[in-house]
Structure 1
Amino acid sequence: MSAPIHRLTVEDLLPTVESVVSSETDMIANMANIAALLFEALPDINWSGFYLSKEDQLVLGPFQGRLACTRIPFGKGVCGTVAEQKITLVVPDVHAFPGHIACDAASESEIVIPVLKNGALVGVLDIDSPIKDRFQETDRVLLEKIVSALEKTLTA
């Protein structure tokens, strides 16, 4: 008889992320692991990943999910708006968001958190769901803490 497989829960997520990033200084490696952990632990999502800031646009970084948009100009769509304004956005219905960029037609709601180093934009964490109004205040708080754990490795 084999041992039961432990599935990562939302409650395990923050301590697991903090543990993983605390011993690694490479940003891409940390982003890749965070994207994978989020994809495994968060229910009802269809995409989790990062876009990196490069020359006034976002370029696709580490992610889990279906094929994604490769480049997003600052100010365009949810991710580009977050990049420009450097604030978290929770979008209950992406189809109602002006200028929404549909990378995956199955996505209905989205949360995007800026990743900053000393106030400068490094990129954004983007999570999509096929369910309208999927992301709540508790999700925002948790995901901002996860991004904060990543940001601490960027300033080290």
Structure 2
Amino acid sequence: MYKSLIEDITQHLWQNPDPLQGLEWVCTEIQQKLFLYDWVGFYFHNLEKEELHLKAFAGKPTDHTVIPFGKGICGQVALSNQNFVVADVSKHENYIACSLNVKSEIVVPLFIEGKNIGQIDVDSNTAHAFKKKDEVFLVDVNRLVAAYILRSKVNL
């Protein structure tokens, strides 16, 4: 499933000139095709304010459209530049609850030319939903998205 999804994402991104529309499509495609992915979104850095801004997502709307660096899992990844998997969000003290249904989360930073510019964030309503293969898949997605953003020459 992951390989065919990567192929679909690659094909779609190279055919879509609108970056935000392309990112929305990626979120929707992943969320609809992967059973345990209940919410998928891309946050991008605002370095001046040290905040993350939600630019594209699929799933239920969230109040967390702006997240300060350091707050929650996404905010931690903005500072650490490291992938972060939370198997059970109820046991993580810095978790920001987007929904009472969310049980696990994975956040993978998005790099362009070695610089962390944002991240993909995935929530699941199932505890322990994310495995190493999910992490590898999301790193691959971010590589495609980084190339897409560079090609489109847009600042998000």
1:23 deviates by 2.6
Q: What is the total number of aligned residue pairs between the two structures? A: 148
Distance across 2 between alignment mates of 1:154 and 1:44: 27
Distance across 2 between alignment mates of 1:89 and 1:25: 30
Q: Which residue of 2 aligns with 1:60?
A: 54
TM superposition score normalised by structure 1 = 0.88
What do the CA deviations read for 1:112-142 (whole angstroms, capped 9, x no partner)? Answer: 1111222223211111001110000011111
Runs of 4+ in structure 1 deviating by more than 3 angstroms, as ranges, are none
Contact 2:40 2:123 in 1 (8 A): yes
Distance across 1 between alignment mates of 2:123 and 2:129: 9
Does 1:45 find its partner at 2:37? Answer: yes
| The one of 130, 144, 151 aligned to 2:125 | 130
3-state SS in 2 of match to 1:52: strand
Does 1:107 find its partner at 2:102? Answer: yes
Gaps of 5+ in 2: 152-156
The Cα RMSD (Å) is: 1.5
Distance across 2 between alignment mates of 1:11 and 1:115: 19
Does 1:23 find its partner at 2:30? Answer: no
Gaps of 5+ in 1: 1-8
Code of the residue aligned with 2:21 in structure 1: it is A
| The one of 80, 91, 111 aligned to 1:96 | 91
TM superposition score normalised by structure 2 = 0.88
Do the aligned partners of residues 81 and 51 (structure 1) sit closer, same or farther apart at CA in structure 2, a change above 3 Å counting?
Answer: same
Do the aligned partners of residues 114 and 152 (structure 1) sit closer, same or farther apart at CA in structure 2, a change above 3 Å counting?
Answer: same
Higher gyration radius (CA): 1
Identity of aligned residues (%): 29
